[in-house]
Amino acid sequence: MKHSMLSIKNISPKKVSALSALLIAIPLGITLFFLNTVWWVALLISTVFGLGSFGIIYFFFQHFIYRQIKLIFKLISQTKATKREEFYYQELLPKKSIEDVQAEVEQWAIQKREEIEILKQNEHFRKEFLQNLSHELKTPIFAIQGYTETLLNGAVNNPDVNLRFLQNSSRNIDRLVNLLNDLDEISKLESGSITLSLSSFQMQELVRDVFESLEIKIRKKNIHAFIKKGCEIPKSVVADKEKIRQVLINIIDNAIKYGRENGIIEAGLYTVDDKLVLIEITDDGYGISPDYISRIFERFFRADQTRSRGVGGSGLGLSICKHIIEAHGQSIQVRSKPDIGTTIGFSLPLK
Ligand SMILES: Nc1ncnc2c1ncn2[C@@H]1O[C@H](COP(=O)(O)OP(=O)(O)O)[C@@H](O)[C@H]1O
Ligand SMILES: [Mg+2]
């Protein structure tokens, strides 16, 4: 804001009052002088009038205009003023020019606009979440409905299909159960009501455990899963073991699903700065297109919708992983090249 001595735009109420008082006192003094009043009487009267008008005008400013402004301030903040605000209204606000007050109100408006933007965005996420969710629920439920109706309409007595239809229904029910478990997990993680139960454990052991628990899937695709050469030296971390197990299961399960038949999955473990352990799971599968790579940690996101759908999954796995790793105060990253492979890496504090 420009300030100059002559500018009357930005002057404070006190100066406005003084100026107005002068405008009253000076003509009065001159008039009295020309009406042949003794000069010192004229000066005295005009001084008294000047001071009086200054007092009255200033009083009106304080008690009427600023009372209104104070009211507006209280209204827009919609709260009872705190001690500090009360001091601000009483002492600081009246010293400001109307322009300063306006600037403050504009600042307030900008802040409110930003808050509204965030609310709108959240609303958008909520809508999108519901849309995704109902979409995810639809597919298996409609499938179960179809099989059940067909069975009821007579297929139950057809030995060629009855068992297959029941198996298909059962698979879709499993899919629903998995989805519900994932949703349960993510809502717990997002509400922040999850507490980590930290312990120290050896990372290689856990990786081998998870490879073992996924043995059937790994064999089915004839994948070779192993800990990278040179990464065998035991590394212990401090973390929530069961949650990290879940993270590894999600990442390795993805590596199997989106990996090649007869491919490899390799786990690398590295110490960083004597403080962290970096765990990387690498596959030589389809990879992720650069267009999608920044989005794979989003809820429900699948890079290649159709192909991913073929292998199931809710699209919640990686967002659960991200939540868990971030709850440990660490980060999770991805590197990927289409048709070359994908590496997902995360860090944990070294014991
Ligand atoms: N190792 C991987 N190779 C290729 N694509 C992957 C890999 N891991 C994850 N993705 C992509 O990221 C998406 C999100 O993964 P995720 O959240 O685990 O969901 P889901 O496994 O249920 O599809 C997957 O649908 C897939 O498109
Ligand atoms: Mg997954």
The domain boundary, picked from 191, 218, 253, lies at: 191
User: Does residue 348 have its Cβ closer than 6 Å to ligand 1?
Assistant: no
CA 315 to ligand 1 centroid distance, Å: 7
> How much is the pLDDT for 280?
97
> How much is the pLDDT for 314?
83
Contact of 287 with 337, CB cutoff 8 Å: yes
The C-alpha atoms of residue 191 and residue 212 are separated, in whole angstroms, by 32
User: Does residue 343 have its Cβ closer than 6 Å to ligand 1?
Assistant: no
Nearest partner of 185 among 243, 123, 128, judged by Cα: 243
Ligand nearest to the CA of 255: 1
Quickly list H helices, the chain. 13-34, 39-60, 66-77, 83-87, 98-152, 162-191, 203-213, 215-220, 241-257, 305-310, 317-327
Rg (CA), the chain: 37
The C-alpha atoms of residue 271 and residue 255 are separated, in whole angstroms, by 23
User: Does residue 283 have its Cβ closer than 6 Å to ligand 1?
Assistant: yes
**Given the structure tokens 């014991």, which residue do they identify?**
351
Taking CA atoms only, the protein residue closest to ligand 1 atom 11 is 303
Contact of 10 with 3, CB cutoff 8 Å: yes
CB atoms within 10 A of CB 221: 15
**Same domain assignment for residues 329 and 291:** yes
Nearest partner of 225 among 253, 246, 195, judged by Cα: 253
**Same domain assignment for residues 315 and 208:** yes
For a pocket test of ligand 1, which of 176, 296, 337 has the largest count of ligand atoms closer than 8 A to its C-beta? 296
> How much is the pLDDT for 194?
78
**The model's pTM:** 0.70
DSSP designation for 158: -
pLDDT 10s digit of each residue in the chain, 351 long? 444 445 556 677 788 889 999 998 899 888 988 888 888 888 899 999 999 999 998 888 777 777 777 777 777 766 666 777 777 777 777 677 667 777 888 888 899 999 999 999 989 988 988 998 998 899 999 999 999 999 999 999 999 999 999 999 999 999 999 999 999 999 888 888 778 999 999 999 999 999 999 999 999 999 999 999 999 999 999 999 999 999 999 999 999 999 999 999 999 999 999 999 999 999 999 899 999 999 999 988 888 655 555 666 788 999 999 999 999 999 999 999 999 999 999 999 999
**Same domain assignment for residues 319 and 227:** yes
The domain boundary, picked from 36, 69, 96, lies at: 96
The domain boundary, picked from 147, 172, 191, lies at: 191
> How much is the pLDDT for 204?
96
Which residue range is the domain that position 322 belongs to?
199-349
Confirm whether 266 is domain-assigned.
yes
Residues whose Cβ atom is located within 5 A of ion ligand 2: 254, 313, 317
**Given the structure tokens 């297109």, which residue do they identify?**
289
**Same domain assignment for residues 264 and 311:** yes
Three-point CA angle 162, 164, 169, nearest 5°? 95
The C-alpha atoms of residue 104 and residue 180 are separated, in whole angstroms, by 49
Confirm whether 101 is domain-assigned.
no
For a pocket test of ligand 1, which of 254, 301, 334 has the largest count of ligand atoms closer than 8 A to its C-beta? 254
Confirm whether 211 is domain-assigned.
yes
Q: Spell 38-54 as b/e; 16+ CB within 10 A means b.
A: eeeebeeebeebbeebb
Number of alpha carbons in the 13 Å side-chain half-sphere of residue 74: 17
> How much is the pLDDT for 66?
73
For a pocket test of ligand 1, which of 302, 323, 339, 346 has the largest count of ligand atoms closer than 8 A to its C-beta? 302
User: Does residue 341 have its Cβ closer than 6 Å to ligand 1?
Assistant: no
Contact of 350 with 277, CB cutoff 8 Å: yes
Q: What CATH number does the domain containing 223 carry? A: 3.30.565.10
CA 254 to ligand 1 centroid distance, Å: 6
**Same domain assignment for residues 88 and 115:** no
**Same domain assignment for residues 214 and 339:** yes
> How much is the pLDDT for 39?
86
CA 282 to ligand 2 centroid distance, Å: 14
Contact of 211 with 218, CB cutoff 8 Å: yes
**Same domain assignment for residues 233 and 319:** yes
Confirm whether 320 is domain-assigned.
yes
Contact of 350 with 275, CB cutoff 8 Å: yes
Q: Which atom of ligand 1 is the closest one to the Cα of 303?
A: 27
Contact of 221 with 265, CB cutoff 8 Å: no
Find the Cα–Cα–Cα–Cα dihedral 292, 294, 296, 301, rounded to 10°.
-60
The length of the chain is 351
Contact of 282 with 207, CB cutoff 8 Å: no
User: Does residue 73 have its Cβ closer than 6 Å to ligand 1?
Assistant: no
Report the domain count for the chain: 3
Contact of 332 with 344, CB cutoff 8 Å: yes
Confirm whether 86 is domain-assigned.
yes
Ligand nearest to the CA of 178: 1
**Same domain assignment for residues 330 and 271:** yes
Q: Which atom of ligand 1 is the closest one to the Cα of 286?
A: 4
CA 290 to ligand 1 centroid distance, Å: 14
**Same domain assignment for residues 215 and 172:** no
> How much is the pLDDT for 4?
45
Confirm whether 5 is domain-assigned.
no
User: Does residue 282 have its Cβ closer than 6 Å to ligand 1?
Assistant: no
Confirm whether 75 is domain-assigned.
yes
**Same domain assignment for residues 211 and 281:** yes
CA 251 to ligand 2 centroid distance, Å: 7
